[in-house]
C-alpha cells in the first residue's frame, strides 16, 4: 500500500503544512501509533490530509510508517497528524516508556521455563 502526495516534488513542505514547521502537539514520536477515529470530516480536507486519513484507515501505523508510505519528511507528517488529531479524525497512542516495560531477564526466564515444559 503506497500513497504519494500529488506532485510532491513540486510542492514545498511549508505549503503542505500551511507554513508551520512544528506540530501543535509535542507528544508525537517516530513510534507513536496513529489510527482513525471513524468520525467523518466536518470540513473539506486538503489532499494531503485526506491521503493520510485514507492510509490510516487500514489500521494503526507509526508516525515513521506514515511518512514512509507518503514519501514525505517526518516533520511534515507530524504537523498533518497533529492537525487531524485536533480535528478529532485521528487518535494517537504514545509508546510504552522503557521504565514500564517488563524486565528482560524476567521475560527470558519465563521463556526458558516454557521451553523446558515442552
How does the average pLDDT of the chain come out, rounded? 81
Q: Does residue 5 have a pLDDT over 60? A: no
Q: How far apart are CA 5 and CA 51, in angstroms?
A: 7
Query: Chain centroid to CA 115: how far?
Result: 36
Residue listed under C-alpha cell 500500500: 1
Q: How would residue 2 be classed by pLDDT, with cut points 50, 70 and 90?
A: very low
| Residue 22 pLDDT level (bands cut at 50, 70, 90) | low
Distance between CA 66 and CA 33 in Å, rounded? 10
Concatenate the DSSP letters of all residues of 5-74 into one string.
-TTTTTS-HHHHTTT--S-S-S---TT-EEEE--PPPSSPPPHHHHHHHHHHTTS-EEHHHHHHHHTS-H
Distance CA(109)–CA(56), nearest Å, equals 37
Under the banding of pLDDT at 50, 70 and 90, the label for residue 98 is confident
Task: Tell which residue, 83, 86, 84, 66, has the closest CA to residue 74.
Answer: 66
Q: Which residue has the cell 515444559?
A: 117
What is the pLDDT, as a whole number, of residue 3?
47
So what's the pLDDT on residue 15?
64
33-80 pLDDT, tens digit per residue, is: 999 998 888 788 888 888 999 999 988 999 999 999 988 888 888 989
Amino acid at each position: 500500500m503506497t500513497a504519494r502526495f500529488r506532485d510532491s516534488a513540486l510542492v514545498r513542505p511549508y505549503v503542505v503544512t500551511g507554513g508551520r514547521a512544528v506540530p501543535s502537539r509535542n507528544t508525537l514520536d517516530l513510534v507513536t501509533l496513529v489510527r482513525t477515529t471513524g468520525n467523518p470530516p466536518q470540513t473539506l480536507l486538503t489532499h494531503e490530509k485526506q491521503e493520510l486519513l485514507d492510509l490510516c484507515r487500514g489500521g494503526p501505523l507509526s508516525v515513521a510508517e506514515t511518512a514512509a508510505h507518503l514519501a514525505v519528511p517526518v516533520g511534515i507528517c507530524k504537523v498533518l497528524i497533529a492537525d487531524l488529531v485536533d480535528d478529532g479524525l485521528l487518535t494517537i497512542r504514545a509508546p510504552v516508556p522503557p521504565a514500564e516495560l517488563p524486565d528482560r531477564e524476567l521475560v527470558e526466564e519465563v521463556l526458558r521455563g516454557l521451553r523446558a515444559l515442552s
